[in-house]
DNA sequence: TGCTGAATGAGAACGTGTTCTCATTGCGGG
DNA sequence: CCCGCAATGAGAACACGTTCTCATTCAGCA
């Protein structure tokens, strides 16, 4: 079902992910989709979580390059941004799910946000992050989300996301 | 229509703002609502814009207190946060509209975000903001949006919004 | 083999955002 | 006063997320 979701999302964004189509594409009944995912948002959030975890895996295999912590964080964020902007429709669908999540989906939203924060602290340096590291990473993940919302909403171009993140990272990590 | 929207939103959040009810409450036909607001999101975004402009007005009448730029910015952000968290349902409705806006509403999203950024640069000091000021304000408005999304989505408590903003402001403005 | 209960399939049904149709109203120009 | 026309009212109609119903399948078990 998640594969079907990603495929439909990549094709036409949020609106193209229609629950009936997800069910058909996955070869199950509509009720079965709702047995496992309580809403369309959750379905997209779980798909998003898979993507973020995949990113985390790729990063652990091929760690970020860069001399300073700031450089490494910028590298990670730009790589992530490039991955997202390469599949604009799929990203738009998942970001929209993030932005319109209800209370019932708060656990999924929290997992996505924690995964992103962990990716950023991981790029800073080896070992446990300090409190300040965690605060910085949290801010960056918030900037990340808002930038993506601006991009998928057509407010900014795709390059703005990376630039915003780089500026924020360099201001926060000295 | 915007008054009706705000009233309904204050009562029950995003889901309580039903276009038929907005029309009835405003004493117009459903088609008339759609003549002036192309979608439910736009209706809520225009309502949100009014709120943000009202905040800007209040701040110009009663400027933020504080010795340093950081203190003044924190004061503004905390006041704004208090205003929002006092009407949780209305805020939830408008934030959800912001988070799920489509391309057609990009102008409204941009206006909200610009208004917020202007409020923050205005709190820093008199006169024109520098490029760095603008970057800092942009980051803070992004943190503001993401924090509100986290709050209305039930991920964080209301106090987290203010704390996140204060931490971010103090890290960015020295 | 037959029984039981959970999972699933198939599809109807409902609510709400959105679109469409068409008659009515009201106003400015002849 | 009447015409033309844009705005509006009233409500049907449509699309899609969500819920519900009920029959069928199938694994585990006696």
Residue A10 has pLDDT above 90, yes or no: yes
Mutate to test the interface with A, among B40, B96, B99, B152 (most CBs of A within 10 A): B99
* Sign, Cα dihedral of B45, B48, B54, B57: negative
In which residue are the tokens 């960015």 written?
B172
Percentage of chain B with pLDDT > 70? 100
Q: Report pLDDT for B52.
A: 94
Contact A103, A41 (CB under 8 A): no
Distance of C1' in D12 from CA in A35, Å: 34
Q: Report the 10 Å Cβ neighbour count for B138.
A: 23
pLDDT tens, residue by residue, A110-134: 999 999 999 999 999 989 999 999 9
Q: Report the 10 Å Cβ neighbour count for B1.
A: 19
In which residue are the tokens 């970057």 written?
B135
Of the candidates A164, A96, A142, A153, the one whose C-alpha atom is nearest the C-alpha of residue B155 is A142
In chain B, which residue's Cα lies nearest the Cα of A93?
A: B100
Q: Report pLDDT for A65.
A: 86
- Distance in angstroms (rounded) separating the CA atoms of residues A137 and A116: 8
pLDDT tens, residue by residue, B78-126: 999 999 999 999 999 999 999 999 999 999 999 999 999 999 999 999 8
pLDDT band at B65 (very low <50, low <70, confident <90, very high): confident
pTM for the structure as a whole: 0.93
- Residues in chain A within 8 Å Cβ distance of B143: 139, 142-143, 146
Residue A169 has pLDDT above 90, yes or no: yes
Plot region of B130 (φ>0 → left; ψ -120 to 50 → alpha; else → beta): beta
Mean pLDDT of B140-151: 96
Query: Minimal Cα–Cα distance from A23 to chain B, Å?
Result: 24
Percentage of chain A with pLDDT > 90? 97
Q: Report pLDDT for B1.
A: 94
Contact flag, residue B41 CB and nucleic strand C, below 7 A: yes
Percentage of chain B with pLDDT > 90? 96
pLDDT tens, residue by residue, B41-59: 999 999 999 999 999 999 9
Q: Which residues of A92-117 are buried (b: 16+ CB within 10 A; e: fewer)?
A: bbbbbbbbbbbeebbebbbbbbebbb
What is the DSSP secondary-structure string of chain A? -HHHHHHHHHHH-GGG--HHHHHHHHTS-HHHHHHH-SSHHHHHHHHHHHHHHHHHHHHHHSPPP-SSHHHHHHHHHHHHHHHHHHSHHHHHHHHHHHHT--GGGHHHHHHHHHHHHHHHHHHH-SSPPPHHHHHHHHHHHHHHHHHHHHHHTTSS-HHHHHHHHHHHHHHH--
Q: What is the mean pLDDT of chain B?
A: 95
Q: Report pLDDT for A89.
A: 96
CB-CB under 8 Å, B154 with A106: yes
In which residue are the tokens 């946060």 written?
B81
Q: How far is CA B94 from CA A107, B8, B15, in A?
A: 21, 12, 11
Q: How far is CA A99 from CA A45, A93, A109, B96, B174, in A?
A: 10, 10, 9, 6, 31
Task: Locate B114 and state its tokens.
Answer: 């610009």
Nucleotides of D under 7 A from a protein CB: 7-12, 16-22
Q: Report pLDDT for B170.
A: 96
3-class SS at B102? Answer: coil
Residue A174 has pLDDT above 90, yes or no: no
pLDDT tens, residue by residue, A59-98: 999 999 899 999 999 999 999 999 999 999 999 999 999 9
Contact A19, A37 (CB under 8 A): no
Q: Report pLDDT for A167.
A: 96
pLDDT tens, residue by residue, B160-171: 999 999 999 999
Mean pLDDT of A29-39: 96
Task: Locate A50 and state its tokens.
Answer: 């898979």
Task: Locate B92 and state its tokens.
Answer: 């939830």
Of the candidates B12, B153, B93, the one whose C-alpha atom is nearest the C-alpha of residue A102 is B153
Q: Report pLDDT for B174.
A: 83
pLDDT band at B156 (very low <50, low <70, confident <90, very high): very high
Contact A8, A17 (CB under 8 A): yes
Number of Cα atoms under 13 Å in the Cβ half of residue A151: 29
């Amino acid at each position: 079902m998640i594969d079907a979701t990603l495929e439909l999302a990549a094709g036409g964004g949020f609106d193209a992910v229609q629950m009936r189509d997800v069910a058909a594409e996955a070869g199950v009944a509509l009720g079965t989709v709702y047995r496992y995912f309580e809403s369309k948002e959750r379905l997209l959030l779980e798909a998003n979580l898979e993507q973020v975890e995949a990113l985390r895996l790729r990063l652990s295999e091929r760690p970020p390059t860069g001399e300073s912590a700031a450089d490494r964080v910028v590298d990670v964020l730009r790589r992530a941004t490039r991955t997202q902007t390469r599949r604009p429709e799929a990203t738009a669908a998942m970001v929209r799910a993030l932005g319109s999540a209800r209370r019932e989906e708060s656990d999924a939203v929290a997992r996505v946000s924690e995964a992103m924060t962990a990716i950023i602290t991981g790029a800073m340096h080896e070992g446990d992050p300090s409190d300040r590291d965690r605060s910085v990473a949290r801010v960056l993940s918030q900037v990340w989300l808002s930038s993506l919302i601006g991009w998928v909403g057509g407010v900014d171009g795709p390059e703005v996301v990376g630039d915003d993140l780089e500026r924020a990272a360099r201001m926060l990590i000295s």
